[in-house]
Amino acid sequence: MSWRFWRRAPLAAAIVASASACDRGTPPVRPVDAPATSAAGRPADQTAEREAERLRMVESQIQARGISHPGVLDAMRRVPRHRFMPEGQRASAYDDTPLPIGEGQTISQPYIVAYMTEALDPKRTDKVLEIGTGSGYQAAVLAELVGEVYTIEIVPPLGERAAAALTELGYTNIHPRIGNGYLGWPEAAPFDKIIVTAAPDEVPQALVDQLAVGGVMVVPVGRAYQTMTIIRKTAAGVVRTETIAVRFVPMIGKD
């Protein structure tokens, strides 16, 4: 069962790990300086299917809650969220609520995807590690903004479906793997940014070790309820900042 969770927090109201978008408001005008191609090398207009819903999603769910990073907003206007969802859930793909994707997992709501992506401060030169591929949607949003995305999924059916969707949409800068996210991807480390889309009890040390100096990790930490946590790795050590209250599915594979 999927659900959502609201609580007042420093930056915005947080909902939980999975979602879609509401259908209201006037679509914003795409910036005139929007890139003709994405960081992923795909044509920015590869798919216009359900574009109006994405524009409304960004305006009413994401910008309205304070997300302002131009690249993040434009990536979420471009990526066809419904293409990452099971057929039975696609009609609800742009609703403002978490949605199940099978295997007991969920797709994070658009606001949470945007919030975590903005918190990473993505740059075109970044190499990013994602723990928890899930549907593949978060990886696609990142691929529009950064150089390379390495993404790990522990549940084989989900990882295989996500990889197929990403290939079908033409992403060439995403590297998927079936594996244990607690171990990270040591042979590809260090990573400029790390994003964790399931909740560990505590920040996995292997991921801290694989984060480059100057890098940023965004991870929901806790048991039944979690706090979104931003880890910044400096030459002097690790700086930890807690932001909004959320609820994600547990991160599995620790043992």
User: Does residue 108 have an active-site annotation?
Assistant: yes
Q: Helices 70-78 & 110-120, crossing angle to 10 degrees? A: 140
* From 2, 38, 108, 135, the catalytic residue: 108
Q: How many CB atoms lie within 10 A of CB 214?
A: 11
Nearest CA to 21 out of 76, 103, 67, 74 is that of 76
The letter for the amino acid at 161 is R
- Cα 171 to Cα 174: distance, rounded to the nearest angstrom: 6
What sign does the CA torsion over 248, 96, 79, 67 have? Answer: negative
Tokens of 119: 């918190």
Q: Which of 67, 72, 64, 61 is nearest to 34 (CA)?
A: 72
Active site residues: 108
